[in-house]
């Protein structure tokens, strides 16, 4: 492997290790290493550029989200010629769901590259998907659309995108439960309240009632996660009824 000239001179060990690790993940050599470093820079570092602008992965995350959506849309458009707009939108949502992106980030071990003042053990699950999107944004800025598409084909579409499996994948159990309740004209209520308990992080607990009965309970670090977790438990508890 031929390394960029002067890579190991001024920042030899740090930049060299980062270059090797990123090259292995990308499948090609980066041109501008600094843009990839920014993709893993957490806002807690409080770094600024020469113009005083904040430097962290969040803007790259925004860009990567757009690129990922565009490339996945193009793939689905080509692979499913009979899919209408609603179908294609639903399938894209499954591929780029936060849960799926978190899995991708974990599988690639991206959190190992994150530079932060916050201990990595304190991060929520979304850090994995956030830096994955930031990495996609960095690829686009460094090497352009074709390399961005190449990376997504290699790391997302090839190993993870199976149309038949995705058709049966549930994006939101909460949506399924609500749709079923509305269809069957059943009342429902997500009763959410703070529940810190003995946990160091604040948790929320939720009771999901359908009609007059509490059908599921769950806890999580956010209201949204607690509701989704309770809905998932309710779905499997009522699966026979909901599939009829």
Q: In this predicted structure, what is the pLDDT of residue 3?
A: 45
Average pLDDT, the chain: 87
Q: Which two tokens stand for residue 27?
A: 């499948």
Question: Is 80 exceeded by the pLDDT of residue 165?
Answer: no
When pLDDT is averaged across residues 84-99 and rounded to a whole number, the result is 87
Q: In this predicted structure, what is the pLDDT of residue 9?
A: 43
- Residue 130 annotated as binding? yes
- Residue 126 annotated as binding? no
Q: Give all domains of the chain, ordered by start, each with its CATH number.
A: 12-167 (1.10.1520.10), 173-242 (3.30.160.20)
- Residue 167 annotated as binding? no
Determine contact, residues 104/132, Cβ cutoff 8 Å. yes
Residues marked active site are found at 65, 133
What predicted TM-score, i.e. pTM, was given to this entire model? 0.68
- What span, in angstroms and rounded, lies between the C-alpha atoms of 207 and 94? 26
Closest CA to 110 of 95, 124, 130: 130
Between 2 and 151, the higher pLDDT residue: 151
- What span, in angstroms and rounded, lies between the C-alpha atoms of 194 and 206? 9
């Amino acid at each position: 492997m031929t390394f960029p000239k002067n890579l190991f001179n001024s920042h030899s060990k740090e930049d060299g290790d980062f270059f090797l690790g990123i090259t292995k993940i990308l499948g090609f050599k980066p041109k501008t290493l600094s843009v990839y470093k920014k993709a893993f820079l957490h806002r807690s570092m409080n770094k600024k550029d020469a113009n005083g602008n904040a430097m962290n992965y969040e803007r790259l995350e925004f860009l990567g989200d757009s690129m990922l959506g565009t490339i996945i849309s193009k793939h689905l458009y080509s692979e499913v010629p009979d899919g209408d707009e609603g179908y294609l939108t639903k399938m894209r949502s499954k591929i780029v769901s936060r849960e799926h992106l978190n899995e991708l980030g974990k599988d690639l071990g991206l959190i190992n590259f994150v530079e932060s003042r916050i201990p990595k053990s304190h991060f929520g699950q979304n850090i994995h998907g956030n830096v994955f999107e930031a990495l996609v944004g960095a690829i686009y800025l460094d090497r352009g659309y074709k390399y961005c598409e190449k990376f997504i084909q290699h790391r997302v579409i090839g190993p993870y995108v199976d149309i038949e499996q995705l058709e049966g994948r549930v994006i939101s159990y909460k949506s399924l439960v609500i749709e079923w309740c509305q269809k069957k004209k059943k009342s429902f209520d997500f009763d959410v309240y703070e529940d810190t308990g003995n946990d160091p992080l604040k948790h929320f607990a939720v009771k999901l009632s359908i009609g007059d009965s509490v059908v599921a309970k769950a806890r999580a670090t956010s209201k949204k996660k607690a509701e989704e977790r309770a809905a998932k438990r309710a779905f499997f508890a009522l699966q026979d009824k909901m599939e009829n």
